[in-house]
Amino acid sequence: MTDYTKSEPAEFADFDAWAAEQSEPERTGVPFRLYGRTWRLPEQVGGMFGMLVQRMQASEDAADVQRLVAYLFGRDALDEFLSHGMRDDQFATLLIWATDNLRAPGSMSIAEADAERIRREDVKGKAQGPNRAQRRNKKGKPRSSGVRS
């Protein structure tokens, strides 16, 4: 018969503490300045990072973006970025810069990250083909305002 009155062992496996250490990496890596504040990337990339990047690329769920940003910059980073009016293009450049410098500190400048963002957008745009307005206007006719005279 099991005696349930015994107290817990003096030491036990604390997965809560372990998970907390895993989800919030220490920020002693590459520093950068944004919105008057000094931020730091995590010093090491865990297996979680690769999974988050893959999930974010395949997802349209804002929670996946939130998880990746929290991993890279801290829990409240996305809210702070948005409160300062960060645009999509700036956010994309920041992510490209951060992921490259996370893997190899000092490997990419902000200007290089922005050029890479533009290159990726150009490739993506060419892969998608002409937009709806361009497809509708195949003969090069001027667009009508839709107002009858």
Distance from C-alpha of 62 to C-alpha of 98, rounded to nearest angstrom: 19
* Number of C-beta neighbours around residue 40 at 10 A: 15
Q: Where does residue 132 rank: exposed (0-12), middle (13-18), buried (19+ CB within 10 A)?
A: exposed
Stronger pLDDT, 73 or 147, i.e. the higher one: 73
Q: Is 39 helix (H, G, I), strand (E, B) or coil?
A: strand
Stronger pLDDT, 51 or 4, i.e. the higher one: 51
Residue with tokens 């990496």: 25
Average pLDDT over residues 88-115: 94
Phi, psi of 52 (to 5 degrees): -65, -40
51-58: long-range pairs with CB below 8 Å, 24+? 53/99
Helix runs in the chain, H state only: 15-23, 47-58, 62-73, 77-83, 88-103, 110-128, 132-136
Average pLDDT over residues 76-93: 95
pTM assigned to the model: 0.66
Average pLDDT over residues 39-50: 81
pLDDT band at 13; cut points 50, 70, 90:
confident
- CA–CA distance from 35 to each of 32, 67, 141 (Å)? 10, 21, 46
